[in-house]
Structure 1
Amino acid sequence: MKGDGKSPVRWMALSIGIAGGSWVGSSAVADGDVIFDRGFLRDGGQALDLARFEAAPVLPPGTQRLDTFVNQRPVGRFDVTIEAESEHGPARTCFRRDDLPALGLDLRRLPEQERVQHLLAADCVDLRQLDPNIALDVDVSALTAHLAIPQAYIGRLVRGMVDPQDWDEGITAGFVGYNASAFRNQLDQTGGHDRYYASLNAGLNVAGWRLRHNGTYSRAEQGSEYQAGSTYAQHDLTALKAQGTLGEYFTPGDLFDAMPFTGVALASDERMLPDSQRGFAPTVRGSADTNAQVSIRQAGNLVYQTTVAPGPFVIDDLYNTGYAGDLEVTITEADGREKTFTVPYASVSQLLRPGNSRFSLAAGRYRDDQLDAPPAFVQGTYRYGLSNDLTLYTGSTLAENYLAVLGGAALNTRFGALGADVTRSQASGLPTQVQGIEPRMRGQSYRLTYSERLDATGTNLAIAAYRFSSEGYLSMANFAALKGSDFPTLYRERNRIQLDLDQPLGDSLSLFVNGMRQNYWDRSGTDTTYQAGIGKTFGWGALSFSASRTRQGGGNRRDDEQTQYLATLSVPLSFGERLTGAYLRTSAAYTDSRDRSLQTSLSGSAGETGQFGYSLYQSSNRDEGQRGETRGGSLQYTTSPVALGFSASSGEGYSQYTASARGTVLGYGDGVLFSAGQGETMGVIEAAGGKGARVGSGHNSHLDGQGKALVTGLSPYRRNEVLIDPKGASDDVEFKVSSQVVTPRQGAVVKLDYPTTIGRALLLQVSGEDGGSPPFGAEVLSAAGESLGMIGQAGLALLRIGDDPGPLQVRWGGEAGQSCRLVMGEPIATDSPGDMPRRSARCLAGA
């Protein structure tokens, strides 16, 4: 039998619990012991000693990772240590001392602080010893731990919080993520042309530092070129919840426009915060008369519910739900009375929760290979949430002969969220050969952003923004172009307006409108682009219509202006369990210049794990009066070490073929691993003998011949559960653990060891000297005293042992005559070759 993370002792203990007939207590671990009726467990006049099962805990000694609930509220998965009764004290079930704050327990509120501090001196703390009013209930079958803690001892428990002490910086490792393609165009007139392309993302992790480099390589008939993107080193600054960066990087784009630079940066990293502290959500304050239930709804949906004690309460860990409308708060008192009030909730990107702040600092040289002498600069920004209704922010960029200062505020009101700021710049020493540029320039840029959801109609105005810049205003990018190049090309923005709106029209019909319009000081004309569409879903598929219009500059040429109409029909298809996610799509497009196209495609996935992807298409079009047809297809195959792709298409006078490969190669102290996935935050899995077991990473990933695998795409600063499915592994391997939880730092490569037992799964037919069998539930022990299994019905015992297991013992009590020595006998024939091997064994006295 392949392991499922549960030891033989545990599942056999459950069998005994059922056979025992009567339990005293509601769970496997309770404050009191449980009592079995021994009358149900007699065999040949021998009584089984059930003391180890009656005295809590039933779980075997050791550490188990259990889903933990505090007052019926999930708080995460924690290591729970089971200590058996010994001469040093009674059996205990305890948590790590460092995990207690994450459980929400405020140790300062506990009575008898001197005794509490004495108990906390140990790393393993039994919470029931801290106070008799704390109760612990472990559900063996569900692998859960339920804590009942008086409200008086509960502190602020932030949802989604992971203690920074649990953030894993990982091991020393280097990796290369790649995406490579080879293209061949075959033209009837000129023959074949080949091109090659690869993008690389390489890294090296050493002592908490993350060295990164990315770039692209291309090769064609004209030659080859490698273009470096950026190279930098980064390190967590945990105390500041920030990242420190050295090298080629980018400034943040939340207040000023993002800029490439080479230098040093220090910036807040919101990913280090719990989900319930990221982004903006208002703080809800109220007062309860009794032990009351507080329910918070948004657009009619329940988003938060908790129980509060009498008196004032504060709820400041709501998740950021974006632009979803005001919050309706209902306080239900113990006597049934209800009080309801509304808290406004709309958000723009500048808004922060009350008391929260974000900052960034950068110093270095503007990075642009096209500039001869890019300027050096210093930039800093700061945002602070003053209240539910107001966030203030400011920033400045300073360079030689250049200064920009920004100030603004974001408001959360019952009429929506509004952000408004002004940036003032001044520059000197400017070249005068550029039209519109004077030696000294100064000006302002004004920006307004707005978002709102109208609950009555469901209208979601995701963003409406307007920006105006005076003629004398220069951004840092404009200034760098003027100072670093003799003949700069400038596009100084004058006006810009942007709109993004969604409108549901019933349960299955929706409408959207988005667009942008902008003009410049340096050239005539206006750039305009907008799109509107409507879509409806049916039981048999979906249908959508859209119209878009683009206009570049003055729109004097045909290519500068175009209106397009598009209709799309999508129908899901079913070809059985092996061919899933199949869709038949047809789209028709028409432009105002009378160009048109019609395309039909079939796409989907296949295979047990969806490792195959496929697509076929046929299209016809008319462009500038010329008709043409194109047909083609593609196939993707995702294996554990690499994702492969191939496509082919042909039309009148040409054909094209493409082959691609994507994945990650990682090297570390114990070898080299390959994965089809990509991502900077990864995990190395090691499970000796586990070849073939599937890794639940979302890819078609399995343990390799050494029992190893590379898992990509882990979420930094979050609890990630990494699962192993033993299916596919050898029958001679048992996984002691099939699931682990890890919290990696950004970019870390964490190592996860999954202990295994390698040996033949063997069903023993055990008999005693008198021809009978040891008592049901008797334990089979190795020479080292390790529990290997238990005697089941009819003297059968399921064991996993090696070729030379050494002397084995069967024990069913601590008194003389309650144990025997196990001697292996001859193999027993099975009904079919696929049956588990069986063997006889004799249990002889004298152990």
Structure 2
Amino acid sequence: MKALIGSTLSAVTLALYTQTASATSFDSETLRLRGIDPDLAAYLSQTARFTEGVHAVRLWVNGQPRGVVHAAFDTAGALCIDQAVRDAGDLVDTGSGCGEFIEQFPQTLIELLPQAGEVRLLVPAPALRTASADHSAFTRGGAAGLLNYDVQGLYNQFDGQRSRFLSANTEAGVNAGDWILRSRQFYSSVQGKATLQHMEAYAQRTFSERQAMLQLGQINLSNPVLAGARVTGAQWMSEPALGASVSGAQVQGIAATQARVDVRQGGVLIYSTVVPAGPFELSNIPQLDRRRDLEVTVIEADGERRTFTVLAAALGLDLPARGFALGIGQLRDSGRNAREPWVLSAGASYPLAPAASVSGGALVAQGYNAGGAGLNLEPWPGSRVQGLMQAAHTSESDDRGLQGSFSLNQQLGDRWSALLSAGRQTVGYRELIDSAWHQPGERSSRLRDQYALGLTWTHPWTGSLSATWSTTTAFDGQRASRAQVNWGRRLGPVSLTATGQWQVAGDGGLGNALYMSASLPLGEGVNWRSTARRDATGVRLGSGVQGRWDERTQYRVAAERASHTGELSYNGGISRLTQASQLDVGYASYGRGSHGYSGAARGAVVLHEDGVTLSPYPLQDTFGLLTLENVAGVQIDTPGGSVWTDRKGRAVLPQLAPFGRSNVQVATASLPRNVDVHQGAATLQAARGAVPRITFGVEVTRRLLLQVQDEAGRRLNRGTGVTDAQGQLVTLVQEDGAVFVPNAHANPHLWSRTVDEQPCRLQFQLPASVDTNAYYEQTVAQCRVEESES
């Protein structure tokens, strides 16, 4: 049957889209002998064209692909350059009609390729949208409330001891009138002892005409050359989306068991999560200050705590983007019963040349002053260099000091790259947070210098190899060094990886560990993995399977054996991406009655004027809402990941690029078989804080495969045309009188011709209910001779 439908569509395509250079006369008898209705001659003589209506086509503009768009064509097959085509092609708006664009840009060339399902436009440069200085093209406004949540739970029973941990990172907020209001909290419960830590609460709005952002409340002061400060106050700064984006920090390590990982900066807990045994990599960790080290604590299932420091210099070279920042506020959360002075911070970074920029900043507080300058260079291709010098004075203790740093990121040929960073400070140098409390006994234990080196090597034979090394030296001479190596290589279908970490010097509590794995695909979506791990407890060998039950469900099962005791341990888990949340559950058995359970849920709740909609992803500061007219379970591909419509046909667009372009598209394969979407793709351009809403119209279709006979019981001739009530061609008759009707709702009255060329009308009966899982329905039709309505 599929072959019959394919033959039908191929025949229609061949008949409709046979291309000719000019109008051509056809011999009616020749057409009849070849199985083609002679009435098609007039249609075929006018060169290839799309039929009247809306077609999903691939759009190209000036040689660049613009994705799939549902384009409208008139009765002559001419393209309507409407709002849908202009949005997809990034063309300027010229009005609501179809002809205004050509009238304004008569140089436009339109190439229609119906046989390939493509439309190619060649337009003059003024017809393309450009980023205007006032950003008037961006969508603004909209209102919605949100609650982002990330809940983690862990229960372990190890050697008769029980440990329970529960954490919840939450972010509540409102977007209204381009204002962004946010409040972040962190709840944790360890062994039943609960704590609630309020992180920050602030209001923010971008004034795009000034390309600047205003922040009010509990904020982090930004400074391009000095460590910032957590204050309650106000800040006026350049809009990051109109410059360069800044990503969060990345932390790597190895866990011996199913463990909890806490990340702190300046003594403040900024991130907490649960990781499985083996190497872990935490990405996009939100930092309070990009110039302060991170303290990472790994808490194993048996309660063992291992702590290591990730130097700010090892996080990568961070060249400040062009812009400014000016803020004032009262220091908060400084800890240790410290005083909380008022702080004024100002800084800016501007280019000196295409490959050079200079940065400067100052920070003034009660009893504390600091200033600094930086030079950022790209001296030759593949090289980025930054030098910083800071000076600080603490009035109360009359401490004065300097701090300098140098960073180099260099591409060494096609395969090598290197990162080098060095920093040193004098004994009198203080950060603002350090000056807020007395620490006479800690002067000699403070860091004097720190160095970091990273190398990356990539080769088709050896694979990818990266290594980092960092070391610090205190004023009392104590040294601490850490090294980590990562390697990966693919040999045919087998993927090999190795990760090692070492505490080279000092007592950082990190411990040494080496982890190796080999992964082999066993079939579609299933991988077998073998592992080997060596750490302070000895060598452990493991093997397991990871796979997919469906596109949204993953599972993992593994076993591990300790070589020195022969003890076996097991672990497994399931991860599920639902329409409303990301869920994960896991179990681990460590032998001798020791085991652990873990669970996690992550997502968002959105409150808007039409009700409540759930999202499986946390929302960013700019998000949107989509409606698909009461069609549930349809997949929508968005920049923040795939989402699915709820029972009311609504879905949340969790992440839109502020002052950028965000493409949203319906995955048509997920639509019910009897539903067609009018416009399945859209490009959103939203200002920061906006909540755009889009609606995709749908049409309920009814596809039919008819077996047609005339009143004498004869099958219609193959190639005979089937038209609608207006005489427009709908399809062609195939072998044995088979007729495939794309949409019986749009064409309820169909006409054709009997064997003896008499006009006849197709009559058939359909069941009242429709099978939404079937692509088409089959029934018998009779073509009765009567007066044509056409």
Change (3 A) 1:133 1:736: closer
Distance 1:637 1:264 in 2: 41
SS in 1 for 2:50: coil
Q: Does 1:798 find its partner at 2:766?
A: no
1:58 to 26, 50, 54: 50
Q: Does 1:228 find its partner at 2:172?
A: no
Change (3 A) 1:14 1:683: farther
Q: For 1:722, give the aligned amino acid.
A: V
What pairs with 1:259-658 in structure 2 (closer than 5 Å)? 259-272=229-242, 349-350=318-319, 357-368=322-333, 370=335, 371=337, 373-414=339-380, 416-428=383-395, 430=396, 438=397, 440-455=398-413, 458-461=415-418, 463-481=419-437, 493-504=447-458, 507-520=461-474, 525-532=478-485, 536-539=489-492, 540-542=494-496, 544=498, 546=500, 548-551=502-505, 555=506, 559-560=507-508, 564=512, 566-574=514-522, 576-577=523-524, 579-580=525-526, 582-590=527-535, 595-620=537-562, 630-651=569-590, 652=592, 654-658=594-598
Quote the residue 1:780 is aligned against.
Answer: 724
User: Is the CA contact 1:694–1:724 (under 8 Å) kept in the aligned structure 2?
Assistant: yes
Q: For 1:386, give the aligned amino acid.
A: L
What pairs with 1:80-229 in structure 2 (closer than 5 Å)? 93-94=80-81, 129=103, 134-140=108-114, 142=116, 144-148=118-122, 154=125, 164-169=135-140, 171-186=142-157, 189=160, 194-220=164-190, 222-229=192-199
Q: For 2:483, give the aligned amino acid.
A: Y
- Unaligned runs of at least 5 residues, structure 1: 3-7, 26-32, 106-118, 279-346, 431-437, 813-817
Change (3 A) 1:220 1:360: same
Shift of 1:466: 1.6
Distance 2:129 2:78 in 1: 32
User: Is the CA contact 1:243–1:268 (under 8 Å) kept in the aligned structure 2?
Assistant: yes
Distance 1:796 1:162 in 2: 56
Shift of 1:373: 3.7
Q: For 2:357, give the aligned amino acid.
A: T
User: Is the CA contact 2:135–2:209 (under 8 Å) kept in the aligned structure 1?
Assistant: no
2:605 to 651, 665, 678: 665
SS in 2 for 1:757: strand
Distance 1:359 1:141 in 2: 54
Distance 1:675 1:49 in 2: 54
Shift of 1:526: 2.8
Distance 1:567 1:223 in 2: 34
Shift of 1:614: 1.3
| C-alpha distance after superposition, 1:544-568 (max 9, x if no partner) | 36452244xxx4xxx5477635251
Distance 1:525 1:678 in 2: 43
Distance 2:354 2:658 in 1: 28
Q: For 1:382, give the aligned amino acid.
A: A
Shift of 1:616: 1.9
2:648 to 697, 703, 706: 706
Farther-moved stretch of structure 1 (213-222 vs 713-722): 713-722
Q: For 2:113, give the aligned amino acid.
A: D
2:208 to 234, 238, 256: 238
User: Is the CA contact 2:70–2:679 (under 8 Å) kept in the aligned structure 1?
Assistant: no
SS in 2 for 1:47: helix
Change (3 A) 1:216 1:161: same
Shift of 1:715: 4.5
User: Is the CA contact 2:388–2:406 (under 8 Å) kept in the aligned structure 1?
Assistant: yes
Query: What TM-score comes out, normalization by structure 2 length?
Result: 0.73
Q: For 1:441, give the aligned amino acid.
A: D
Change (3 A) 1:363 1:14: farther
Query: What TM-score comes out, normalization by structure 1 length?
Result: 0.69
Q: For 1:723, give the aligned amino acid.
A: Q
| C-alpha distance after superposition, 1:631-659 (max 9, x if no partner) | 33222233322333222223335322223
Q: For 2:391, give the aligned amino acid.
A: R
Shift of 1:368: 1.0
Shift of 1:460: 0.6
Change (3 A) 1:731 1:20: closer
Change (3 A) 1:363 1:55: farther
Distance 1:97 1:466 in 2: 54
| C-alpha distance after superposition, 1:757-804 (max 9, x if no partner) | 2254344567889999899555436xxx999955655483515456xx
User: Is the CA contact 2:87–2:682 (under 8 Å) kept in the aligned structure 1?
Assistant: no
Distance 1:215 1:654 in 2: 33
User: Is the CA contact 1:160–1:274 (under 8 Å) kept in the aligned structure 2?
Assistant: no
Shift of 1:732: 3.4
Q: For 1:634, give the aligned amino acid.
A: G
Change (3 A) 1:52 1:455: same
Change (3 A) 1:259 1:811: farther
Q: Does 1:732 find its partner at 2:674?
A: yes
Distance 2:230 2:128 in 1: 39
Change (3 A) 1:838 1:163: farther
User: Is the CA contact 2:323–2:348 (under 8 Å) kept in the aligned structure 1?
Assistant: yes
Change (3 A) 1:121 1:488: same
RMSD of aligned Cα (Å): 5.0
- Residue identity over aligned pairs, in percent, reads 18
Distance 1:679 1:79 in 2: 29
Change (3 A) 1:168 1:628: farther
Q: For 2:584, give the aligned amino acid.
A: G
SS in 1 for 2:512: strand
| C-alpha distance after superposition, 1:684-720 (max 9, x if no partner) | 3432353343444697854333333345345544444
Shift of 1:496: 2.0
Shift of 1:264: 2.3
| C-alpha distance after superposition, 1:17-64 (max 9, x if no partner) | 622585235xxxxxxx76684837779997358569949963646797
Q: Does 1:723 find its partner at 2:665?
A: yes
> How many equivalent pairs are there?
696
Change (3 A) 1:621 1:751: farther
Change (3 A) 1:121 1:724: closer
Quote the residue 2:267 is aligned against.
Answer: none
Quote the residue 1:741 is aligned against.
Answer: 683
Distance 1:645 1:13 in 2: 45
Distance 1:533 1:726 in 2: 41
Change (3 A) 1:64 1:58: same
User: Is the CA contact 2:67–2:88 (under 8 Å) kept in the aligned structure 1?
Assistant: no
Q: For 2:122, give the aligned amino acid.
A: A
| C-alpha distance after superposition, 1:391-447 (max 9, x if no partner) | 12222222234332222222222384322232222342x2xxxxxxx2x33332222
| C-alpha distance after superposition, 1:439-470 (max 9, x if no partner) | x33332222111212217x3211x21222222
